[in-house]
Structure 1
Amino acid sequence: MREVDLAVVGAGPAGMAAAAEAAQAGLRVALLDAQPWPGGQVYRDIYHAGQEQEADLGAAPLEGGRLIAGLDRPGISLIRGAEVSGIEPGYRLSYRQDEAAETLQARRVLLATGGLERPMPVPGRTLPGVLTVGAGQILLRQAGLLPRRGVLLGTGPLLYLFAVQMMHAGVTPTALIETQTRGDLARAMCHLGGIFGGWSYMSEGWRMLRLLHRAGVPRITGAHEVVIEGEQRAEAVRFLRRGAQHRLPCDAVLLHHGVVPNPHPARALGLAHRWMPRQHCFTPVCDDWGEAAATEGGVEGIFVAGDGAGIVGPRAAELQGRISALRVAEILGRIDLGTRDALAAPLRRQLRRELAVRPFLDAAYPPFAEADGLDRDETCPGSPLPAFGTALSGGVPGVLAETGESGGETIADAAGWLPVGGADDASPDVAEAEKTATGAACHAGEA
């Protein structure tokens, strides 16, 4: 049985950074991830991106490439395609790799299992042709598929990012139908000071919105009472806005309603959780170093970093991973207290700057009222748990990733999805969407 000092579960930004920092301090590290390559959802297949895709992603290729390159050092064992099924007291991990059951003995464990897209319980969400934006990114990156007439529905900056990625791949989204309102933006203005701390996020967001505006992609905000219509598959989105009913035909609907921490791994280990009203989700109770509090019977000494501890974004997740790794190195006697604090101080300053914009974003893009009750139910510590291995197998349903890799042509034929490069520059019903977005009762960008 392999023995290491630190086992890191999840090879996204937090996990990769934690592994590199721990190895730098002299620890033996095992970094486990269910995917065949490191990067997590945010940097998925980043090193396979061409120049046009890199333009979509801004600084992401550089940031992701730097983190992936940091894993190429002595002391780090990258265990790819590993689905963790359990962590016992004493930090013994069980996992499956290549259909074989394996075990690993560690002295400490860090969970970097990231977030999940928030459920968006609109009628019609189970129809074929309806999936999350995260799953849409998998289909684009791994199978080269995009919808002919795709409507992006929900709220949050990820809608804008995927819309830009679609355009660079040759398919213009039919429309963005968003649920946030002018009132939400007004309430977010009390956190305006955070914009300056998170200026890079805001400038990137404005850049994407300018690209969408120049491409003529309609943005319809303030939508509510949303229904996805269709008999055998998604055919249209119907919604109310400012008292008027609207209906927009489409081939596919991509839902995104923000991200919440993946609660299942931490809860399966008996870690304490608390409700965070600002982010409308439960998060593990952690100290400033990421060490989580355990409930009675839970596993003590587990660290949690990144979006699994509260939604922070990739740059902040990286910093949290490094800070947690320094604490583990100090606990295991590889660095002293003074060295730990000296190394952590600049990381904490950067982390404060990265987190400054979060209150503004959380207030500007809140869950819409029809979804809030479901969020609390589905993330409540009293709700049923899936198997531990299921929870760690990936942030987006694995069946979608598998289908995207092996059954792409079936999706393209049956659900209105095209191979990238096989579409016209504009979707057929963009004009209809523009009519909806600019009508007397429905002005794009207004609430």
Structure 2
Amino acid sequence: MPVVNTRRDFLRSSAAALAPWLRAAQPAADPWQEAAAIMQRIRPPKFPDREFSVTRFGAKPDGVADCTAAFRKAIAECARAGGGRVLVPAGRFMSGAIHLQSGVNLHLAEGATILFSREPKAYLPAVYTRWEGMECMGYSAFIYAYRQDNIAITGRGTLDGQADCSHWWPWKGRTNCGWKKGDPNQEAARRRLIEMAERDAPVQERQFGDGSYLRPQFIQTYQCRNVLIEGVTIVNSPMWEIHPVLCRNVTVRNVDIHSHGPNNDGCNPESCHDVLIEGCRFDTGDDCIAIKSGRNRDGRRINVPSENIVIRGCQMKDGHGGVTIGSEMSGSVRNVFAEDCRMDSPHLDRALRIKTNAVRGGVVENVYMRKVHIGQVADAVIHVDFYYEEGARGDFLPVVRNIRVSDLTCEKSRFALYLRGFEK
């Protein structure tokens, strides 16, 4: 049974709950000194002064010709030379999956747009990926890197996934996303992946490519070090936009994200260490930022937390949560610092959101938020829900502790604080 059962119960309990919840287990030292130490460790990668224009390798800026091979050749040549910048000049370039290699900065000049193919086969063969917190062999992200170091996506151009209610979004299986009765959707494959992950099926046996309808992410860097994503605009994503997994030393800076499809989270660091997200603008169909660490048994098997994450100077418009933790948090999340952010939209539900349940488990601790101005949010400024999806039906009780919020102003919201936890 939840601690808060009705609106009246909530109003009676919230005032009493607020002070001890925010004060509990505070460390003696100023925690923001740790944020400064994290910032000192995070350094964006540097690249040799070499340039490889994709047009030199056959790319045509007409928005029609398939430039996948040209991107692949330019990236391979850049990597062989010891690294540098793969330049996408002004124009519209159509491409399938782009796979980055160590030492490569994919740079979009002002006026450049990469249009990603709407054909699912353009993202095959299947790659090693993590989908909703579970490892599998699935569609490649539109821009993907696996076990690469010193990689970047930079510039003032646009990455356009071309997803809409006729392409990619209907796979969610919802009528408001273009799905119609009788159309294929992700539900059967999603259930099968959950079942395989729960019985520890080898990842190579978890084949979810052609015909599975598990939407690809836009950008996924998997087990990479020294990652920079800076300056670009991202629109019309099938699913999560920026998804670093098991990465160290990640910088996401001055990125504009505008995408209102289902599960269109803006930036989801998962099981990552030392991450900076700054100066970004989020206008999304789901959480603006969602910090994760794996789902259920698969998350516990891998058992790598997300930790040491700094968020600063960001703007959040539409979305389910401004700064969110979960729900895929079975590997735990700790040491999250958010400051100097502005959140304002009647379609932004919450400012700080923590979502979990008794199947996820995991620990969320040492989360600090300060100097945040909120114009309005539709629901709660701070929202903690232990009953997300599976609720209390599990044996892995989550722990949320040491959350501190200070110097936050809000002009309009339904609740200041919403807590829905377990009695046990």
Q: Could you say which TM-score interval applies, normalised by the shorter chain?
A: under 0.3
**Greater fraction strand:** 2
* Higher relative helix content: 1
